[in-house]
Structure 1
């Protein structure tokens, strides 16, 4: 590994560690995916069929805003749904959830909109069983990827 690669690796590790300490276990899990940082905000959940950000999610949204303040990184917001309902409607709903969170990050967090990408995955990436109410609630979520370039 070259010195430049070592410096890059160290910088990426420091970003991960900085983000990781912001959240408690009930709010989010933070993972490192190669040079990127994934915030799986399982404490941020949507009511079934809705994309509006609930006011009780504002404290977690503010932590997310704080966590993504890296001017040299891009942000990807991914929306997810449970498996209830039609697949095409769930895909549109997940896209709407990602768009609402992105708008919040841009307006409240003052993140430049050109740095934020949105993506909807619908019901295709569950993290829990859709057979239970609790599992479906966990699947209605957003994930934020800090993309380090």
Structure 2
């Protein structure tokens, strides 16, 4: 009996040991299986995240490319706009400059007229002893030799009276702007004044001149003949009435 109990105890112990070993082996297998499953899920999730990250980066790159293109177009537009504004500013400044020059010329003509009027504010005491006109070629201030006889006659009129003066008025046709025409008229008057002063020894203080340009036409500018007549210098010899009366005695 005692021997039977010992055998039974040994068998039970062996069975228990075998069961424990089997349980540990099963547990290890379960843990390994769960770990593998978890690792698989982690790897899958990482792959998905990496895919999403790559897609996001690709989208960001595409957006950056579009932004760069837009920036380039905006820069080009800004450049063209700036160029356009600079051109417009230049045109406005050019127009303003021409307007200022035209106003200066107009003021100079008006000033010359005022000065001339002041010099002859007693013009009612003068009489016109002679009046002549000579023409010039288009856009020219060169004195034509054919008119020197006319200038000689004018110089003789002035020389006959010590109080006589001569008034020279420069004219142009209506071609060109007023500023240029005023200067052209001045050059034509200067050609006549130089001839009278240098070639005919007429004192310069007895010569008074003004350029009207196209502002005071001699004839209408609507015909070729009228424009030719306006390319001229008119000359008036003025003698004080007292001198005229004395000469008549």
TM-score (norm 1): 0.70
* Correspondence list, 1:44-83, <5 A: 44-69=134-159, 70-83=161-174
- Report the equivalent of 1:146: 237
Moved over 3 A (4+): none
Q: Corresponding residue for 2:246?
A: none
Instruction: Describe the shift of the 1:102–1:56 C-alpha distance in structure 2 as closer, same or farther (beyond 3 A).
Output: same
Q: Which has the higher helix share?
A: 2
Matched, 1:96 2:187: yes
Please state how far the C-alpha of 1:105 moved relative to its aligned partner: 0.7
Contact 2:130 2:157 in 1 (8 A): no
The alignment yields a C-alpha RMSD, in angstroms, of 1.8
Q: Would the alpha carbon gap of residues 120 and 39 (structure 1) be closer, same or farther in structure 2, given more than 3 Å must change? A: farther
Cross-structure match for 1:41: 132
Q: Secondary structure at the match of 1:121?
A: strand
Alignment partner, residue 209 of structure 2: 118
Identify unmatched segments of 5+ residues in structure 2: 1-122, 241-249
Deviation at 1:80, TM superposition (A): 0.7
Would you say the 8 A contact 2:142–2:191 is kept in 1? yes
Q: Deviations over 1:50-106 (max 9, x none)?
A: 111011111212122222222212222111111111111000011111111011111
Q: Distance in 2 between matches of 1:38 and 1:51?
A: 26
Q: Over residues 106-144 of structure 1, what are the superposed CA-to-partner deviations in whole Å (9 max), with x where a residue is unaligned?
A: 112211112212210100111212121110011111122
Q: Return the alpha-carbon distance in structure 2 between the equivalents of residues 38 and 148 of structure 1.
A: 6
Q: Are residues 1:85 and 2:195 paired?
A: no
CA distance in 2, matches of 1:94, 1:40: 18
Bigger relative contact order (CA 8 A; separation at least 6): 1
Report what 1:137 is aligned to.
228
Q: 2 CA distance for matches of 1:95 and 1:36?
A: 25
- Structure 1: any 5+ residue segments left out of the alignment? 1-32
Q: 2:135 is paired with a residue of what secondary structure?
A: coil
The aligned counterpart of 2:28 is none
Query: CA-to-partner distance for each residue in 1:10-60, whole Å, 9 max, x for gaps?
Result: xxxxxxxxxxxxxxxxxxxxxxx7423175434x21001111101111121
